[in-house]
């Protein structure tokens, strides 16, 4: 997950519908259950290998080779080099039917691991001109192992599958290196959802909920994540005679305060929560000099695309308006991040019985909105998609107090891996057997 700023992430609340009886399982559900147990030692081995050997976005060359080699052994039609280092595998079932996509991200983060696992990462790499430690601090090692486990299970059922499974191993979910393209957006541009055309896409992300818990939400789940850079230009002068210039620090201060009114006075937060945060305010180099320029840098998080666009317009209007009123000028640049991660409501309702059956009804919860962002959203803009969280906090620990994703101490309990494999395998099977 990119830009893990947790904006009032609430505890998952009980699912009010979980007591409803689930419909009959797909005819291969029992086999999927058995294989999730049988394959678990290999899934754990994959996870530990990926964890020990993380690679940064658009640099996942070893990771991609391991995945591609395994998919070829399973009989998938494999394409490599998608969106730089991505791997796509296609498994055509023995019977006609729809096409379902299962997605995992591949990249690690520029984080030096501080835990003491026997398979701890000691990898180093270059990031943004600096040598950094590399760690799967967001848990993508788990995602890859789970998807390889699901791919293995589905490959053993190939002749009985009514349709096609496309597995997508995506690079650079955390964002490509500066100056490069990548991630889900680039995969979509390179037609990853075509040939064959995908009818629905599924993904999951490990998260600090109790191990084995599945947390879902129809509609918006995660926020859009955009950055902004405001440059305010005044006129430099001596600090003792501020009337001899135009003070960009004062203008910037007024802008910072006014930006907070966007959320408090113009956004209906009961329908679509949003956040505007200024994280950097820089300018000047001496106490007695009014500088010529200051910069403000921040982030915008929203759960509705129209609200997202309106916030951008208001930020621009506030910054330029205050600057012009004081005799200065302002420019506003937006770095468009990921769109809102929005689960298709109809698909969510259709697959909810699958989640309950695969994870156990007591382990499935309706979750809150979170301020995190995910580029699975680009797939969801093209086809119906469902994205869920998989809890990985040991059951004997308080999941509200453990290290979060992106922490150098982030820890994932491997007892959640077979649950992830069951969930991903059964989402594919139930969708295929249910038809379009």
> Could you say which of 209, 322, 338, 378 is catalytic?
338
**Residue-level pLDDT at 21:** 41
Which stretches in the chain have pLDDT values below 70?
2-24
Cα 231 to Cα 248: distance, rounded to the nearest angstrom: 9
**Residue-level pLDDT at 5:** 42
**Residue-level pLDDT at 32:** 97
- 48 by Cβ neighbours in 10 Å (0-12 / 13-18 / 19+) ranks as middle
Do the bridges between strand 219-222 and strand 289-290 make them parallel or antiparallel, or are there none, so unpaired?
Answer: unpaired
Q: Are 88 and 170 in contact (CB under 8 A)?
A: no
Tokens representing residue 330 in the block = 């302002």
> Could you say which of 31, 38, 297, 414 is catalytic?
414
Q: For tokens 């969510």, what's the residue? A: 348
The CATH number of 13-217+340-434, from 2.40.30.170, 3.40.50.2000, 3.50.50.60, 3.40.630.10, is: 3.40.630.10
Check the CA dihedral 312-383-12-338 and report its sign: negative
Active site residue 374: no
Q: Which of 314, 204, 229 is nearest to 267 (CA)?
A: 314
Please give the DSSP secondary-structure letter assigned to residue 405.
T
Active site residue 180: no
- Which H or E run contains 69? helix 61-74
Region of residue 226 (phi > 0: left; psi between -120 and 50: alpha; otherwise: beta)? beta
**Residue-level pLDDT at 13:** 46
Tokens representing residue 108 in the block = 């690690």
Q: Are 78 and 68 in contact (CB under 8 A)?
A: yes
**Residue-level pLDDT at 9:** 41
Cα 304 to Cα 340: distance, rounded to the nearest angstrom: 7
- Which H or E run contains 146? helix 140-155
Q: Within 13 Å of residue 414, how many CA atoms lie on the same side as its CB? A: 15
List Cα–Cα distances, 383 to 1, 100, 181, 263, 379, in angstroms.
20, 10, 22, 31, 6
Q: Which fold has domain 224-335?
A: Alpha-Beta Plaits (3.30.70)
For 36, other C-beta atoms within 10 Å of its C-beta total 25
**Residue-level pLDDT at 436:** 73
**Residue-level pLDDT at 7:** 37
Task: For 13-47, write each residue's pLDDT tens digit.
Answer: 444 444 344 446 799 999 999 999 999 999 999 99
What are the sequence ranges of the domains in the chain? Answer: 13-217+340-434, 224-335
Q: Are 422 and 357 in contact (CB under 8 A)?
A: no
**CA-angle at 382, arms to 303 and 222, nearest 5°:** 25
**Residue-level pLDDT at 2:** 63
**Residue-level pLDDT at 10:** 41
Cα 210 to Cα 365: distance, rounded to the nearest angstrom: 11
């Amino acid at each position: 997950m990119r830009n893990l700023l947790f904006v009032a992430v609430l505890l998952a609340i009980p699912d009010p519908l979980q007591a409803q009886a689930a419909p009959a399982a797909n005819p291969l559900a029992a086999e999927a259950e058995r294989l999730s147990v049988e394959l678990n030692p290999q899934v754990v081995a994959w996870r530990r290998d990926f964890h020990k050997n993380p690679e940064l976005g658009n640099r996942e060359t070893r990771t991609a080779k391991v995945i591609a080699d395994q998919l070829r052994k399973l009989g998938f039609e494999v394409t490599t080099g998608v969106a730089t280092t991505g791997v796509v595998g296609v498994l055509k079932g023995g019977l006609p039917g729809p096409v379902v996509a299962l997605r995992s991200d591949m990249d690690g983060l520029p984080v030096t691991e501080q835990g003491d696992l026997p398979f701890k990462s000691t990898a180093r790499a270059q990031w943004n001109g600096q040598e950094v430690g590399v760690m799967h601090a967001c848990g993508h090692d788990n995602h890859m192992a789970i998807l390889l486990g699901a791919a293995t299970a589905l490959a053993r059922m190939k002749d009985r599958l009514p349709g096609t499974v496309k597995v997508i191993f995506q690079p650079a979910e955390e964002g490509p290196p500066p100056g490069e393209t990548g991630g889900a957006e680039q995969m979509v541009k390179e037609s990853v959802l075509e040939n064959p055309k995908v009818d629905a896409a599924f993904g999951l992300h490990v998260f600090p909920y109790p191990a084995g818990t599945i947390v879902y939400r129809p509609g918006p789940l995660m926020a859009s994540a955009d950055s902004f850079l405001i440059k305010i230009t005044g006129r430099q002068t001596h600090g003792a005679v501020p009337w001899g210039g135009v003070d960009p620090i004062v203008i910037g201060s007024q802008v910072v305060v006014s930006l907070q009114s966007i959320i408090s006075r113009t956004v209906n937060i009961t329908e679509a929560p949003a956040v505007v945060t200024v994280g950097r305010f820089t300018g000047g180099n001496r106490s007695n000099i009014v500088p010529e320029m200051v910069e403000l840098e921040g982030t915008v998080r929203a759960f509705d695309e129209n609200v997202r666009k309106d916030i951008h317009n208001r930020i621009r209007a506030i910054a330029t308006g205050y600057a012009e009123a004081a005799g200065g000028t302002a420019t506003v640049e937006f770095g468009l991040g990921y769109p809102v991660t929005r689960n298709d409501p109809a698909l969510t309702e259709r697959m909810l019985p699958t989640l309950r059956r695969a994870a156990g009804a007591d382990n499935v919860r309706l979750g809150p909105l979170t301020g995190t962002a995910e580029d699975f959203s680009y797939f969801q803009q093209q086809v119906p998609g469902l994205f869920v969280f998989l809890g990985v906090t040991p059951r004997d620990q308080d999941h509200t107090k453990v290290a979060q994703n992106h922490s150098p101490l982030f820890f994932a309990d491997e007892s959640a891996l077979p649950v992830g494999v069951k969930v991903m395998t059964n989402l594919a099977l139930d969708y295929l057997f249910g038809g379009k």
